[in-house]
Structure 1
C-alpha cells in the first residue's frame, strides 16, 4: 500500500476525501459552461482552484483530488492550446495542489495535529473528453490502442509532477479501467480506481462491480484502493458490500450529493432524498469503507458532515477494517 495512505488509515482509521471541484468553483464565480469545464479555470483562474483545495483542507479533508479530470491533451489542443501548453496545464493541476497543501500545512495543519494531505491526481475517463454523456455509459467509438494513447501521456505527467496516487475515477467500464491500470503499472505509480455505477451492483456500463474488483485485484501490485464515485448516495452501501466480495483492498467512496444530473442538458435537479449526507457517510463507514468523501454538487459543508460521521464512528467503537 502507498506509504502516505497507510499512515492516514493507521492514524485516522477512515480517510476523508474532499468534495466537488466544479460546484465550489461555480460558487466562487467561475463560468464552467464550456467543453473544458474545470480545466478552463485551471488555465485562466488557477488561484480559484488553489482556494478550493485550501477550503477542503479547512473542512477536514485528509486528501484532495486535482483539477485534472477534464484536462486531457486532445481536449486542450482542440480548444486552442499547443501540445506544450496542454502538458503544462496538466502538470499545473498537481503543482497547485502541492502549493495549497504546503501553505495550509504551515499555516494551520501542522499545529492542529492534522494529517499531511495526500495528492490524488484525477484521471477522468475518455468520455469526459467527449463531453457527450458517454462517461456515464462507456460507449465509445475508439479501440483499446486509442484509449491507451489517450491516457498514457497525461498519467505520466501527473505522476512525474509529484502526485501521491493517480486517482483513476468515474470509470464506466472495466475495460477502460484495465487499460489505465496497465499504464500505471508501467509507470510504477501507485493508483486507485473508482467506478461510476448505475445501481447497487453494476457499473455504468452494466458490469457487476464485484467482478470488476476481482479482476483488478489480480496482478496489479501498485493498486492501493478500489471504489465508486459520481454515483447516487443510496446505492453506495450495497456497492461497498459488492466490492468486498472481490477485493481486500481499502474501499474509497465519494458519491454525488444526491442531486440528479441530466447529461443532455448538463444540469442538476434537486434530490428528493431526505437522508442527510452525514448519515450516509456513517453508513458507508459501518459497511467497511476506508475512505469517504463527496463528488458532484458536494461542497465544504458535506465534507464537514463526513468528518463528524467519522468522529461518531470512532467514538462508538465500531470495528475498523485492517489494512495491509
Structure 2
C-alpha cells in the first residue's frame, strides 16, 4: 500500500450532462464544473487522467431510455474510457505511478476502488493513448466484430462503413492481414478515402457524399460482398443488403447515421433480401466479449509491434475542449480515434 496525498490534488474538473439533447446536442446541454473529492477510503485509489476517449455510443447514453448501458445522469460526471496515472493509493494492488485503464473519463481526476482500474504495461515507443483504441476496447470491438460476429473467412470480400474511424480502420486492416480477397471502405471525404487506400491498404474506397451509396458499392465490389461491418446503418446498410452474396454475414456495431435523428430512418427498405440471400445480421456489444481480450491483445499487439497494423489519432488538447471534441467526432471531423489529452 502506498500513499502520496501531499502531491495528489483533490479538485477535479468534470463534464456533466446539464440537459438531455433533442436531435444534435447543443453546447448548453453540457457543463464543466469543479468538485472536491473526498479523502480516499481503504482499498481506493486516485488517478490523474492523461487521455480520455469520446465515442459515438456516448450519444445514446444521453437519452433517458432503456438500453444495454444505463443513461448518463443529469448533473453528474459523465463516464467513458480513460488512461491515467495513480497519484494516491490506499490499495495493496495499485501503487503511485502505475498506469491504469478505466472508465472514469470526462474528468481530470478519477477516484474509486482499485478494482475499477486495470493496470497496463507501457509499450516501448508507443504512446499510452493506444490503450484507448488499438490495444483497448476500440481494437477489441473491431477484432471480435469481424472474426467472431461476422465469422470472417479467408477469401471473403469485406465492406466497412465509416472505415476511416477508429474501429473501421482497424477492421479493414485485420481483414487484410487475415487474407481477405478484397477490402472496401466508405468515408466522408476525399482525404479519408485516400487514407484508406493508401496508408491502411484498402483495395477500394469511396466518398459516400459523392452519390448513391448502393451504386458506389456496386462499382467497388462488382462480384458482391461476403461480410459487412456496419458503423453507419441507414443507406449504408441498404447498400450492403443489395451487394451481399448468398450467405453473407453482417456485424452490426453501430449506426451513427441515426444517433441524432428525430425521425425514423427511411432505409433500409430492402430487408426482405435477407431471406432469399440467407443472410446473417447480428448485433453485438463489446462488453459481452471481454473473455476474448487476451487473445486479441496478443495477436494485435504483435501486429502493432511489427508495424503491420497502423493507426491514426485526432488529439484535442485540454479538458475544456472535451465537449467540442465529442461533437466534432459525431460530425466526422476526426481521423482514427478521437481523444482528449487532459493536460
Could you say which structure has the greater relative contact order, defined with CA pairs below 8 angstroms and 6 or more residues apart? 1
Q: TM-score, normalised by structure 2?
A: 0.30
Q: TM-score, normalised by structure 1?
A: 0.31
Query: Which structure features the higher share of strand residues?
Result: 2
Which structure's CA Rg is the greater one? 2
